[in-house]
Amino acid sequence: MNRCDEMFPDATREPEAPPRSSGTDTERICRLLSNATLFKGLALDEIAHFARGAREASAGKGAILFHRGDPCTGFHLIVRGQIKLAFSSSEGNEKVVEILGPGQSFGEAVMFMDRPYVVMAQTLTDCEVIHIAKHVVFEEMGRDPIFCRKIIAGLSCRLHQLIADVESYSLRSGRDRIIGYLLREEENEETVRTGRVSIRLPTSKGTIASRLNLTQEHFSRILHELIDAGLIEVEGRTIHIPDLARLRATLS
């Protein structure tokens, strides 16, 4: 039994009737699902169709949700915390593919391919995750064409990001990758800012370095170069940018 089976023991079971949970539990799961990008725009009664296949679980920092090669029984939504998707070798080397946070989902593509996971998923913080069984997703896709389009749009965005990553790794310097990452993190804030800004890195520098296809040593060396150039100031996980426009102007 893999970790995902332990967390979601009913994931592979197609219930003959909705699970025996209180109305309060169902309403809570519906509210949690409504905050996810995939379910934006759906009414609560529409989201309730998915609640019958949803299982909620908590996991501490460092927990493995699934390994590469484990069977995929559905997809996951992150309610709280951060999760990394990564490749790992028998020698212990690791390549981080994605760092995901609240409202994001993962596992949809493998679910449709009916193949085992090709990456591992590990929590970077204490997490709360909802697993939605694939038979429920397939039923709702057959019933609701709008939801089908949302699924396709989400997978298309993932493909677009993958292409952008390949372009970045192939054509952009490590320096530009780090600056681009910092600018992207700043742009994720709710308000557009200028001048001096501060960014809190969501996870360790080593994990971010792997995400950018850099060694930790190379990542640290570039940070020191940016510090010496007066473009950033580093305080633990917090990166202070004295002049955002100046940093942006240094991109190749």
Contacts of residue 85, defined as CB under 8 A and 6 or more positions apart, other chains included, come to 96, 97, 98, 100, 106, 119, 120, 121
- Residue-wise pLDDT for 27-40, tens only, equals 888 888 887 877 87
Quick check: 4 pLDDT over 80?
Answer: no
Put residue 69 in one of left, alpha, beta given phi > 0 → left and psi -120 to 50 → alpha: left
Average pLDDT estimate for 11-36? 62
Query: Is 113 strand, coil or helix?
Result: helix
Residue 18: pLDDT band with limits 50, 70, 90: very low
- pLDDT (mean) for 196-211: 91
Q: Quick one: pLDDT band at residue 5, thresholds 50, 70, 90? A: low
Polymer length of the chain:
252
Which of the four pLDDT bands, split at 50, 70 and 90, describes residue 188? low
72 pLDDT above the threshold of 90 = yes
List the domains of the chain with CATH numbers. 3-168 (2.60.120.10), 173-249 (1.10.10.10)
Residue 19: is its pLDDT beyond 80? no
- 251 near 175, Cβ under 8 Å? no
Retrieve residue 63's tokens. 């927990």
pLDDT score for 189: 52
Q: Return the pLDDT at 48.
A: 87
The token pair at 199 is 């960014």
From 3-17, 122-136, 204-218, the region with the lowest mean pLDDT? 3-17
Q: Write down the mean pLDDT value for the chain.
A: 85
Average pLDDT over residues 118-135: 94
